Amino acid sequence: MSQHPANRIHADNPILEVHELAFGYGAEPLLRNVSFDVKSGSIFAIMGASGSGKSTLLRTLIGLLRPSAGEIIVGGEDYCCLDDERRAKIGRRFGVLFQGGALWSSMTAAENVALPLQMFTQLDKASIDALVQLKLSLVGLDTGRASMPSDLSGGMRQRVGLARALSLDPEILFLDEPSAGLDPISAKRFDDLVKELRDGFGVTVILVSHELPSLFDICDDGVFLDAESKTAIAHGAPQVLRDTCAHPTVHAFMNRQTPPGTLRRRRST
Amino acid sequence: MTEPLTGRGWLARIDGTNMVLFLSGDWSARDDVVRARMTDSLLERSNIHAIRFDSSNLGRWDSSLLVFLSSLREALARRRIVFDQTGLPPAARRLLALLPVAPPESTAPTRGIGSIERVGIWAIERWSDLIGLTTLIGETILRTGAAARGRVRTRLVDVLACIQDAGIAALPMVALVNVLIGGIVAFVGGIQLRRLGAEIYVADLIGVTEVREMAPLMTAIVMSGRTGSAYAAEIAAMQGSEEIDALHAIGIPVFDYLILPRLSALTSMMPLLCVYGGALGLFGGFAVAVAMVNISPASFVTQLRGAVAGSDISLGLAKSIAFGGWIAIAGCRIGLKAGRSATDVGHAATTAAVSGIVGVISLDALFDVCANAFGI
């Protein structure tokens, strides 16, 4: 009986739970009382308008920001309450693709992918090289492996960033605006790749995006953050929210409409 | 069926011209050495036409299994042996479908340039630098003329911001360096002159050295490390964020918007900083001469008045203006020709500091040769 990672897809147990999460600078809240569960093996979308706190939530989930209240449960432990060493250990189960790739500019594409393996595994050079080749092939980077990031196109940088995020075979893959700046064909290819990697490795994907075609195409669950209340106002798959959610902000966002009253308010100001 | 071949996580049974590979246990790339290198030895000992898989005992797996399978598939393709993947987990088959069968290009950076080519590239780059610098100096002269006639589009607020940065903000560092240099010159000179019974001439030494040489030179070195490198880093960062491209696209002259404010700020502030630094250098020398070389304050001042001529002050001020111009032009030029990455920003800052200091010292030597020739 094979227990390959794909068996984890759509398992009932959540891989990440967020309970009443809050974050803010001083008296100004950026997130308020946000709760949701991410099922193992799912592709989970964090949605919302600009300024709703999507990126703040993502940065809190990956440990770059400490929440002012609430819990983030990963593997049965409250990730926020752990000491730095334990957090770092859990953090190595995460892969993160930042917007635009965020590649280290002094290294080649291959060196970018190799660095996490050199830092956090005991593998020898030949093994690391083999894994780097594999990851770059998986993301479809057939050329430019020895190039510096500044010599790569935006789509190639995204792919290298994805290969780097996958380098340690993460359980959860965080993607920050993965299709931003890509042409429609490249964006579709990237979406298909994310789906293939989820199906192949069984990795759970949490992505921040407001690219509606991508959201409808690949996500099977999600949370919608409201820019005014700074909290989650809807939960569910993007397609379901588009078709059934009655909340005016969610409905307008999902159907690419102007929310009722907004136009009049803008004109009067 | 022959004797099975085995390795960690796999066992191969050869049946005639077919091999069945039984995969078992957990395959983890994090803790294991990837087993890809075993594939060649696996095939060397057999004369087979096809490989099949049995993954019924396979546990958890990750990239480690994929590296093994993809390198095996490559090796089989080279030997024209069939790779029958039907027995593999469906997820592994999906991922294998994403991988090319042919080996990918090398990840090693290309470093195949010979020494002659290196010299040629170096010479071309230096020639290009020289042309760029000459062009910038020429443009500076022309645009400065236009600025004098009020025909440039420089924003006053930018000039004032640069003046604040290159002037008031630099005062503490310029003061510290010049006071210490004045004190050091007085101490070292005083000790030597005392042996000859001529310690009163320490005032001459400090006066001439500070006013003609040390105040403009040390101030310029401080400003080169502090402000010249900051100009280069700032403009290089603007390259990275395409701000320079935006200026070009809109049609705003880069010289007017970026270089002229910095150039005018440094060339106007440097003489003032030089006067300020020189005064503090003299004070440092005076304090050490009085406290440690036992010269009376009145004698020091009287001797100093006789030692420093107006031409010395003029020469020091002329030097400081030239130094300021050089530091600003070098910093801006290096920033403008920098690449677009974070490394390039650091490289530009370092290059600007080094170029500024080397250029300032070279200019100082040139000034002294000319001053000597003209008897100043």
Q: Are A197 and B91 in contact (CB under 8 A)?
A: no
Three-class secondary structure of residue A176 per DSSP: strand
Q: What angle do CA B230, B211, B175 make, to 5 degrees?
A: 45
pLDDT the model gives residue B112 = 65
H or E stretch at B7: strand B5-7
Contact (CB<8Å) A146/B91: no
Phi/psi of residue A36, each to 5°? -170, 165
Question: Which one has a higher pLDDT value, B114 or B335?
Answer: B335
Token pair of B58 as six digits: 């396979």
Interface TM-score (ipTM) > 0.85: no
Q: Are B186 and B198 in contact (CB under 8 A)?
A: no
Residue with structure tokens 């090398």?
Answer: B106
Could you tell me the pLDDT band of residue A58, with boundaries at 50, 70 and 90? Answer: very high
Contact (CB<8Å) A142/B105: yes
Q: Is the Cβ of A121 closer than 8 Å to some Cβ of chain B?
A: yes
Q: Kindly state the percentage of chain A with pLDDT values over 90.
A: 40
Could you tell me the pLDDT band of residue B110, with boundaries at 50, 70 and 90? Answer: low
Q: Are A190 and A178 in contact (CB under 8 A)?
A: yes
Whether residue B98 is predicted with pLDDT greater than 90 in this model: the reply is: no
Which residue from A2, A111, A130 is facing B34, i.e. has the nearest CB?
A: A130
- Smallest CA–CA separation between A107 and chain B, in Å? 10
Q: Domain map of chain B by residue range?
A: 5-98, 153-373
- Smallest CA–CA separation between B126 and chain A, in Å? 23
Q: Is the Cβ of A133 closer than 8 Å to some Cβ of chain B?
A: yes
Alpha helices per DSSP H over A70-183: 84-91, 109-120, 125-138, 154-166
Show which residues on chain B lie within 8 Å of chain A, measured between beta carbons. Answer: 28-31, 33-34, 36-37, 55-63, 66-67, 70-71, 89-92, 94-95, 98-100, 104-110, 339-344
The dihedral region occupied by A10, where left means phi > 0, alpha psi between -120 and 50, and beta the remainder, is left
Q: Kindly state the percentage of chain B with pLDDT values over 70.
A: 91
Q: Count the Cβ atoms, other than its own, within 10 Å of residue B301.
A: 12
pLDDT the model gives residue A93 = 87
Q: What is the pTM of this model?
A: 0.72
A224: CB partners within 8 A, 6+ apart: A47, A48, A232, A233, A234, A235, A241, A245, A247, A249, A250, A253
- Smallest CA–CA separation between A58 and chain B, in Å? 24
Measured between alpha carbons, how far is B327 from B228 in angstroms, rounded to an integer?
A: 5
Give pLDDT tens digits for B334-348. 999 888 888 889 999
- Report which DSSP code applies to A118: H
Residues 153-182 of A with CB under 8 A from B: 166, 168-169
Measured between alpha carbons, how far is B376 from B365 in angstroms, rounded to an integer?
A: 14
Token pair of B227 as six digits: 């402000």
Phi/psi of residue B29, each to 5°? -70, -25
Please list every residue in chain B whose beta carbon sits closer than 8 Å to the beta carbon of residue A132: 107
- Smallest CA–CA separation between A100 and chain B, in Å? 13
Contact (CB<8Å) B63/A200: no
Token pair of B229 as six digits: 């490198």
Contact (CB<8Å) A2/B59: yes
Q: How far is CA B165 from the centre of its chain?
A: 21
Could you tell me the pLDDT band of residue A8, with boundaries at 50, 70 and 90? Answer: very low
Domains annotated on chain A, with CATH: 1-93+173-178+202-269 (3.40.50.300)
The CATH class of B5-98 is: alpha beta
User: For chain B, how many residues are written?
Assistant: 376
